């Protein structure tokens, strides 16, 4: 059947002749996802259907085991009409770390020839994360399909060396080339067990009993299927200060060798930190965790004079990666305090930038976090008050706070130039420009990233649902059901590669059209300090 023709004709009911003669009708409710879940064995089909609502249970198809049955199933009207094909069942482990009952979500499926016959499944990370949330042990990686039972140890070892996690006899031939696909397999045979006809083995039933736990996530994947438009506001991801801080650590590692110690996270992103750790950076919370005399980098968020004093007492070889825009605020604290003003610092308690900035003149600086604090803050002289701002805040929040402060302190002084850094403002403005068009906003960034959190708040303030995610694995499939236009941005400390991975994962749910919306172009670059500067 021509796929486009089947799309254009009215849908009444579709049927599929199963290998054992059974005929299953698909549901006809247009609000129900048109996913089709293929299960090779009757035990698998029953297990999955048992945990799905009645309307979705009808979309579980018993296809039969092996290549021939799979190829037959892929010619049926039900298979051709589906918006996405999921292959669900049991498999044999190739990787020794897999145990019976573990779940493998394939990000690639290889044919009998191995990696040269690869089908990519970009939604694997989304599905795997949802399954892990249910308490299952879940692994993501290649699954290889063979047209015969793989029983010889040599064959299994060869496939394992190629990187495959598990082996089955159907997935490659059931996956469509023109629509989303999903492969979820529960391990029955472990890598060290001899392969025997599956129906004769009691351990198959053990694996099958784990299949109902997959059903809720399968339903979410089906509900999330569909074409989407992705809006990418720019600027997004790294700013000049973040790029400089990361470059400083990289240069220190290259020039001086590992380990290089970093006080706190160099920037607030766990992926960046993990990558630098792999290269030899050691992140610590306090200076007393660093050996005397060791090379030490201060993070982009800045430190107080007390920290500098402690570093000198330990004779640490310090390289300062403080963002120059943060350094500017430190200078302002000293200047305004030394002329007799009380400095009201608008920021967040416990944030490293706040601690470092207020540490410049702790006796003359008070913290205001919100409008309530602004209404109640007390100062020594109401006529001598200056406010400064954490560089990563939302301009919306700061304006509300400053308005209250001005009503209380008419002679309130402001910094000569805006303390909120250009990158924070640019990313918030760019996001605001696409928020009205979007059903959903995804902000890539870590939970301790202030500027990333402010992006989420910006979208929510404009009435658009928004979520902070560290990477594609944090996306809840439930957010995507019905969301056809998605805005995706990233905080200033999040690598752009993470945004690319999120977009790629959405391709696993249907066609994606990507629009870049560049509000402004950033061409600022900060030089690195002399300690790591090369000629």
Enzyme catalytic residues = 353
Q: CA 205, CA 340: separation in Å to the nearest integer? A: 78
> Do residues 340 and 386 touch, judged by C-beta distance below 8 A?
no
Gap between the Cα atoms of 427 and 492, Å rounded? 8
Picking from 317, 301, 312, the residue whose alpha carbon sits closest to that of residue 244 is 301
To the nearest 10°, report the CA torsion of 273, 274, 275, 277: 90
Nearest to 207 by CA among 186, 228, 181, 178: 186
**What 3-state DSSP class applies to 246?**
helix
Q: What separation in angstroms does the CA of 251 have from each of 245, 311, 326?
A: 10, 21, 21
Kind and range of the H or E run holding 406: helix 395-408
Instruction: Please give the DSSP secondary-structure letter assigned to residue 131.
Output: H
Q: Which two tokens stand for residue 473?
A: 């694995």
Question: What string of DSSP letters covers 16-57?
Answer: EE-TTS-EEEPP--TTS--EEEEESSHHHHHHHHTTS-HHHH
* Residues of the chain by 3-state class (helix, strand, coil), percent to 5: 40, 20, 40
Phi, psi of 12 (to 5 degrees): -110, -80
Spatial separation of the C-alpha atoms in residues 248 and 252, rounded to whole Å: 6
Q: Which of 222, 312, 189 is nearest to 31 (CA)?
A: 222
Taking alpha carbons only, the member of 466, 486, 459, 455 closest to residue 232 is 486
Cα 398 from Cα 345, distance rounded (Å): 11
For 312, residues 6+ apart whose C-beta sits below 8 A from its C-beta are none
Query: Residue ranges of the alpha helices (H) in 303-378?
Result: 305-313, 324-338, 352-358, 371-376
Q: Which pairing describes strands 466-469 and 440-444: parallel, antiparallel, or unpaired?
A: parallel
**Contact status, residue 519 vs residue 234, Cβ threshold 8 Å:** yes
């Amino acid at each position: 059947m021509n796929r486009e023709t089947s799309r254009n004709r009215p849908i009444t009911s579709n049927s599929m002749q199963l290998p054992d003669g059974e005929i299953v009708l698909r549901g006809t409710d247009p609000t129900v996802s048109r996913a089709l879940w293929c299960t090779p064995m009757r035990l698998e089909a029953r297990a999955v259907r048992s945990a799905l609502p009645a309307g979705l249970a009808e979309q579980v198809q018993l296809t039969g085991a092996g290549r021939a049955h799979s190829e037959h199933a892929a010619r049926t009207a039900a298979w051709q009409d589906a918006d996405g094909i999921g292959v669900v069942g049991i498999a044999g482990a190739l990787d020794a770390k897999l145990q019976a009952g573990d779940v493998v979500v394939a990000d690639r499926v290889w044919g009998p020839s191995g990696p040269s016959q690869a089908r990519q499944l970009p939604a694997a990370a989304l599905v795997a994360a949802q399954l892990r949330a249910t308490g299952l042990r879940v692994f993501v990686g290649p699954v290889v399909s063979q047209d015969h039972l793989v029983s010889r140890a040599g064959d299994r070892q060869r496939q394992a060396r190629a990187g495959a996690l598990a082996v089955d006899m159907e997935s490659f031939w059931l996956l469509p080339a023109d629509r989303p696909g999903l492969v979820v397999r529960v391990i029955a045979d472990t890598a060290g067990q001899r392969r025997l006809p599956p129906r004769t083995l009691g351990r198959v039933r053990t694996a099958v009993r784990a299949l109902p736990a997959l059903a809720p996530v399968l339903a979410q994947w089906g509900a999330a299927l569909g074409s989407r438009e992705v809006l990418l506001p720019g600027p997004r991801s790294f700013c000049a200060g973040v790029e400089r801080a990361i470059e400083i650590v990289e240069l220190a590692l290259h020039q001086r060798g590992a380990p290089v110690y970093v006080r706190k996270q160099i920037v607030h992103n766990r992926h960046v930190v993990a990558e630098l750790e792999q290269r030899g950076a050691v992140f610590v919370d306090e200076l007393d965790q660093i050996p005397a005399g060791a090379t030490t980098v201060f993070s982009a968020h800045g430190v107080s004079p007390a920290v500098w004093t402690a570093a000198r007492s330990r004779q640490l070889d310090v390289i300062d990666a403080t963002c120059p825009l943060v350094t500017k605020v430190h200078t302002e604290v000293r200047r305004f305090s030394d002329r007799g003003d009380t400095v009201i610092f608008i920021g967040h308690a416990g944030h490293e930038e706040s601690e470092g900035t207020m540490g410049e003149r702790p006796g003359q600086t008070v913290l205001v976090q919100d409008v309530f604090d602004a209404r109640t803050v007390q100062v020594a002289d109401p006529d001598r008050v200056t406010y400064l701002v954490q560089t990563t805040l939302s301009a919306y929040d700061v304006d509300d706070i400053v308005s209250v402060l001005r009503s209380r302190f008419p002679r309130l002084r402001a910094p000569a130039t805006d303390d909120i850094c250009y990158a924070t403002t640019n990313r918030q403005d760019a996001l605001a420009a696409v928020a009205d068009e979007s059903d959903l906003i995804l902000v890539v960034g870590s939970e301790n990233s202030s500027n990333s959190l402010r992006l989420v708040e910006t979208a929510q303030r404009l009435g658009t649902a928004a979520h902070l995610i560290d990477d594609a694995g944090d996306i809840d499939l439930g957010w995507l059901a019905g969301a056809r236009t998605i805005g995706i941005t990233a905080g200033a400390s999040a690598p752009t590669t993470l945004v690319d991975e999120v977009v790629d994962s959405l391709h696993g749910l249907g066609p994606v059209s990507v629009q870049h919306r560049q509000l402004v172009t950033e061409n600022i670059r900060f030089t690195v300090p002399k300690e790591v500067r090369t000629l």
